[in-house]
Structure 1
Amino acid sequence: MNTALILEDHAESRAWLTELVAEAFPGINIVVHTTLADAVACVEHQHFCLALLDISLPDGSGIDLVRRLRESNANTYVVMASIFDDDEHLFAALQAGAQGYVLKDQPRERLIAHLQGIIRGEPPLSPSIARRMLRHFRATPPPALPKSELPQALSERETEVLHFLARGFTRGDIAQALGITPNTVAGHVKNIYRKLDVSGRAEATLYAVRLGVVDGEPH
C-alpha cells in the first residue's frame, strides 16, 4: 500500500475513515477530498492504490468517481463506504467497477479487518451486503452450468468453506465456525478460487448459487 484516497464530505466520518485506513495500513499516505469535483481533478494527475469513497456527496455521486478511476487509475482498489445498503446503490457501484462495499455502521474492528483483507485477496464486503448479493443471485438465478463447464470438484471441506464465504463470513469467522486455523481457511479459499477459476468472493458466491452449495435464505 502506498497512497490512499478518501472521498467523504462529513467531517466526523472523514476523520473516522482516515483513522481506520491509517490503522489498517500503517505508514500509508492518505489524501482526503470532500467534493466529487476536487476528487475527479485529483485522480487525473495522481495515482492511488486504494480509494475509499462515499456515495452521497454535495456535488454528485461517488459512483461517478469509480468510473473515472477505472479509466485513469485502473489499478486502484476501489471500496465504497456508505450508509446505503439497497440494491440500487450496491449494484450501481459494483457495475461501475467497485471491488468492495462496506457499511459505515459496522464496528471499527470489523471495518479494519475488511480493509486488511484486501491484502489477502478478500474483497471487503459487509455481511449484510454479501447477503443482499446472494438474495439477488437467488432471485434471478443464472442458468445451470452445462457438464462441459463444471469446475473441478471441491472437497467436502472446501464446500463448507465456500458455503460460509457466500454468506459474507470473514476467514476468521470461518475458522472459528469450523474449528480450524485462519491459515488453513486461507489455503482452502485459494484452492476454491483455483478450482472455480474465479478471482474473488463475488464470483465465488455466484458459483455457490449455481452449484447449489447455498440453499435457503441466508442468515
Structure 2
Amino acid sequence: MMIEDQPLLNQQLEMILMRLGYPTELMMSTQNLAEAESWLQQHLPNLIFIDVEVDSIAKLSFIRQLKKIHPDSYVIAILTQQQTALLFDAIQSGAQGYLFHHHTEAEMQNNIKSILRGGAPIHHDLAQYILSHQIECIKNKSSGLEENSALSLTTIEFEILNLVSSGLNSQQVADQTHIPLYKIEGNIKNTYRKIASLEH
C-alpha cells in the first residue's frame, strides 16, 4: 500500500516491487488517509509506504494505529533527507525504515530489501541525531529536568551509530567490525525498536 501523492515515485516503487516479486494487482495507492484506513479493514498489506511530510501529525498517528492493528506489517516512511527530526518521530511511531525522495531506484531497492530481510537502513544524519538524543537525555537526567528517556543501547549498537555518524555505510561498518551485514542491519532494527518503545 502506498500513501502518497507523487505519481512518479509511485511508478518507481511499483517497478521495484514487481522486481521483488510483488504482483501489480496486490498493490494499492491512495493520497487519502481515510481511504487507506478503510482499506486496512479489508486487506492486510504487509508493506506500507507513507509520505510523512504532508500532514505529519495525522500520518504519524496513522502509523501508531496501524502498528496496533497489524504489528507485523512493514511501514516505510517517505520524506526528504533534511527532515531528520520527523524521521526520528516516524520511527518512534513504528516505522521500520525509510526512503528519501531523492534516492535512486537502486538505493530504494536496497533499503526495501534490507527491511524485508529483517534489517533496517540508516544514514549518518539519523545516526548523529540518535546519538545527540542520547546525550540530551543523559544531560537532562543529571540536571533532574525530566524522567530519563535515553535508549538502553548495547555496546555494538552504540558502535554502529558512531561509525555510521562518521560517514560509513552499513556494509563498511560490517567490514570494519568483522560482523556480518545481516547482524549490523539487525542491530539497527533493534535500535529502532528501542526508539519505538520511548514515550511519545
TM-score, normalised relative to structure 1: 0.64
Contact 2:131 2:161 in 1 (8 A): no
Corresponding position of 2:126? 129
Note the aligned Cα RMSD (angstroms): 3.9
> Would the alpha carbon gap of residues 16 and 61 (structure 1) be closer, same or farther in structure 2, given more than 3 Å must change?
farther
Contact 2:76 2:96 in 1 (8 A): yes
Deviations 1:69-120 (A, max 9, x none): 1122121111101126335422332222212233221232222111111133
Contact 1:102 1:129 in 2 (8 A): no
Contact 1:79 1:102 in 2 (8 A): yes
Corresponding position of 1:36? 33
Q: 1:68 aligns with which of 47, 55, 65?
A: 65
Aligned length: 183
Alignment partner of 1:81: what SS? strand
* Pair 1:113 & 2:103 matched: no
Alignment partner of 2:49: what SS? strand
Higher normalized helix content (fraction of residues): 2
Q: Aligned partner of 1:200: which letter? A: N
Corresponding position of 2:171? 172
CA distance in 2 between partners of 1:49 and 1:82 (Å): 20
Aligned-pair identity in percent equals 19
> Would the alpha carbon gap of residues 159 and 60 (structure 1) be closer, same or farther in structure 2, given more than 3 Å must change?
closer
Deviations 1:147-187 (A, max 9, x none): xx996x87xxx986674356685442334x5396xxx5237
CA distance in 2 between partners of 1:150 and 1:56 (Å): 28
Contact 2:84 2:126 in 1 (8 A): no
Contact 2:171 2:181 in 1 (8 A): no
Q: 1:52 aligns with which of 39, 49, 53?
A: 49
CA distance in 1 between partners of 2:57 and 2:153 (Å): 43
TM-score, normalised relative to structure 2: 0.69
**1:51 offset after TM fit, Å?**
0.8
CA distance in 2 between partners of 1:104 and 1:169 (Å): 21
Q: Aligned partner of 1:202: which letter? A: Y
Structure 2 portions without partners, runs of 5+: 143-151, 196-200
CA distance in 2 between partners of 1:169 and 1:120 (Å): 21
Contact 2:123 2:164 in 1 (8 A): no
Q: Aligned partner of 1:174: which letter? A: V
Corresponding position of 2:8? 12
Corresponding position of 1:140? 137
CA distance in 1 between partners of 2:98 and 2:167 (Å): 12
Runs of 4+ in 1 over 6 A off after TM superposition: none
Q: Which of structures 1 and 2 has the larger relative contact order (alpha carbons within 8 angstroms, sep 6+)?
A: 2
Corresponding position of 1:200? 190
**1:45 offset after TM fit, Å?**
1.8
Structure 1 portions without partners, runs of 5+: 206-219
Contact 1:35 1:59 in 2 (8 A): no
